[in-house]
Amino acid sequence: MSESQKYRGFDFIGDVHGCAKTLEALLEKLDYRKINGVYTHKHRQAIYVGDIVDRGPRIREALHIVRDMVEHGGARIVMGNHEYNALGYCTRARPGSAHTYLREHTPRHERLIRETLDQFANYGHEWNEFLEWFMTLPLLIDDQSFRVVHACWDHELISQFLEHHPDGLITEDFLHASTVRDSFAGHVMDRLLRGTDMKLPDGMSIRSSDGFVRTAFRTKFWKAEPETYGDVVFQPDALPDEVAERRLSERERRMLLFYGLEEPPLFVGHYWLQGAPRPIRPNIACLDYSAVKYGKLVAYRLEAGDRKLTADNFVWVDVMREAGGAAGR
Could you tell me the smallest distance in angstroms from the CB atom of residue 14 to Mn ion?
Answer: 8
Q: How far is it, in rounded angstroms, from Cα 278 to Cα 3?
A: 28
Decide whether 41 or 82 has the Cβ nearer to Mn ion.
Answer: 82
**Nearest alpha carbon to residue 305 among 3, 7, 1, 2:** 7
Q: How far is it, in rounded angstroms, from Cα 77 to Cα 83?
A: 11
Could you tell me the smallest distance in angstroms from the CB atom of residue 173 to Mn ion?
Answer: 26
Q: Is the distance from CB of 268 to CB of 286 less than 8 angstroms? A: yes
Q: Which of 51, 83, 154, 190 binds Mn ion (CB under 5 A)?
A: 51
Q: How far is it, in rounded angstroms, from Cα 52 to Cα 269?
A: 11
Site string for Mn ion, 102-131 (x = CB under 5 A): ------------------------------
Decide whether 11 or 15 has the Cβ nearer to Mn ion.
Answer: 15
C-alpha separations of 168 from 81, 141, 142, 157, 231 in Å: 15, 8, 9, 12, 32
Q: Is the distance from CB of 143 to CB of 306 less than 8 angstroms? A: no
Decide whether 69 or 112 has the Cβ nearer to Mn ion.
Answer: 112
Decide whether 15 or 190 has the Cβ nearer to Mn ion.
Answer: 15
Could you tell me the smallest distance in angstroms from the CB atom of residue 80 to Mn ion?
Answer: 6
Beta bridge partners of 302: 10
H or E stretch at 266:
strand 266-268
- Give the β-pairing of 44-48 and 9-13: parallel
List binders of Mn ion among 266-295 (CB under 5 A).
none
Q: How far is it, in rounded angstroms, from Cα 56 to Cα 300?
A: 22
Decide whether 38 or 193 has the Cβ nearer to Mn ion.
Answer: 193
Could you tell me the smallest distance in angstroms from the CB atom of residue 217 to Mn ion?
Answer: 19
List binders of Mn ion among 4-33 (CB under 5 A).
15
Interface with Mn ion (CB under 5 A), residue total: 2
Could you tell me the smallest distance in angstroms from the CB atom of residue 269 to Mn ion?
Answer: 6
Decide whether 60 or 270 has the Cβ nearer to Mn ion.
Answer: 270
Stretch touching Mn ion by CB under 5 A, among 45-53, 67-75, 255-263, 275-283: 45-53
Residues contributing to the site for Mn ion (CB under 5 A): 15, 51
